Amino acid sequence: MRLGSEGLTLGARFTNAWSKPDLGDPANGRIKSETMVAGLELGYPVLRRQDANVRAALGFEYIDQNVRFGRSGGFVPLTRDHLRVLYGRIDFDMIDRSSLASLAGYSAGEPQWRFAGSLEYRFGLDIFDASNGCGARPYLRCFINGAVPPSRVEADPTAALVRFSGIGEYRPIPKLAFTLAPRAQYTRSALLSYEEFSGGNYTVGRGYDPGAVIGDTGIGFQAEVRAGRMAPNARDDLAFQPFIFFDKAWVWNRNQPVQPLVSDPQELSSIGGGVRLVYGDRARLDMTLAKGLEKIPAASAQGLVMRKPDARLLVSLTTRLYPWLQ
């Protein structure tokens, strides 16, 4: 929603999600997890040009994560995280000005170079029934008088962190692109699970389960070499782009109460390749074959063991349902 004529906007969002992870034999019990996130954000365009944009944002998030454990006869609370987070963020993007004229085979959609990023500062507030910390070891505050502990007893719900994500592209020739997408997070405190840096299929580390490695502080990148183009010449035309990639991530945890199976930094890396197909402005198909290179903890009949993941074929189809024929 716009506020005035200078570009100030007010936005709101709400997400409610739930999951029931598979623990194997139902007789051993089940886990139910529910996450609710509500947020408000003020945004303002600090700079608006054809070849560069900068936008500032200030927002608040109300986050509840509840995990329960039990059987069909009933479930009991296992962990409870209530986060109230204030944040400030700067988003920016830059593009090669000469490519905007669609000369020498480049275009605004596939320029000779471009870079975009987001820098965010977040800190928790002790308001609106936010979770309390468990105090010093042995964290008794979270286990007496019927208290439900947080996801990490060592975590500080009012912790502050700095987070960055970006993507850069460079094309020495129009049909060859090198891309690098860095991600990083730094904090001096242990964090609740929602705020942690994670590596895996949805962030950095194609070929691993989402959240294969999780930490308070982390850094990683996705690097790709792409051939071909992703911009069809007509609505009924087909464009394809083969690519190869390498992903890498490291994470560190603070104030861990027990000795972890893997010492810090935990890391993962993966390689692979695939192809992206685009049919006009109607459909896009992404196919990726990914192989993890690092061993990570995995469940087995003998308990947790270190194991490399098997190669995975990842397929994603995005299409317009309406108006298909317009």
Residue 281 lies in a domain: yes
**How many domains, the chain?**
1
Q: What is the pLDDT of residue 51?
A: 93
DSSP state of 24: S
Q: Give the span between the Cα atoms of 31 and 22, in whole angstroms.
A: 8
Residue 41 lies in a domain: yes
Residue 2 lies in a domain: no
Q: In what order do the strands lie in the sheet with 9-19?
A: 9-19, 30-48, 52-71, 74-95, 113-124, 160-173, 176-187, 217-227, 238-252, 266-279, 283-292, 312-319
Residue 301 lies in a domain: yes
Residue 325 lies in a domain: no
Residue 208, CA distances (Å) to 38, 125, 200, 284, 314 in order: 29, 33, 5, 23, 11
Residue 129 lies in a domain: yes
pTM over 0.85: yes
Residue 4 lies in a domain: no
Q: What is the pLDDT of residue 102?
A: 84
Instruction: Express each pLDDT in 273-314 by its tens digit.
Output: 999 999 888 899 999 999 999 988 877 667 778 888 999 999
Domain that holds residue 203: 9-319
Instruction: Express each pLDDT in 212-233 by its tens digit.
Output: 999 999 999 999 999 999 888 8
Q: What is the pLDDT of residue 323?
A: 61
Instruction: Express each pLDDT in 235-262 by its tens digit.
Output: 788 999 999 999 999 999 988 877 676 7
Instruction: Express each pLDDT in 24-44 by its tens digit.
Output: 666 567 888 999 999 999 999
Lowest mean pLDDT among 55-69, 116-130, 177-191, 285-299: 285-299
CATH of the domain at 179: 2.40.160
Lowest mean pLDDT among 115-129, 139-153, 164-178, 273-287: 139-153
Residue 19 lies in a domain: yes
SS3 of 177-241: the string is EEEEEEEEEEECCCCCHHHCEEECCCCCCCCCCCCCEEECEEEEEEEEEEECCCCCCCCCCEEEE
Q: What is the pLDDT of residue 73?
A: 67
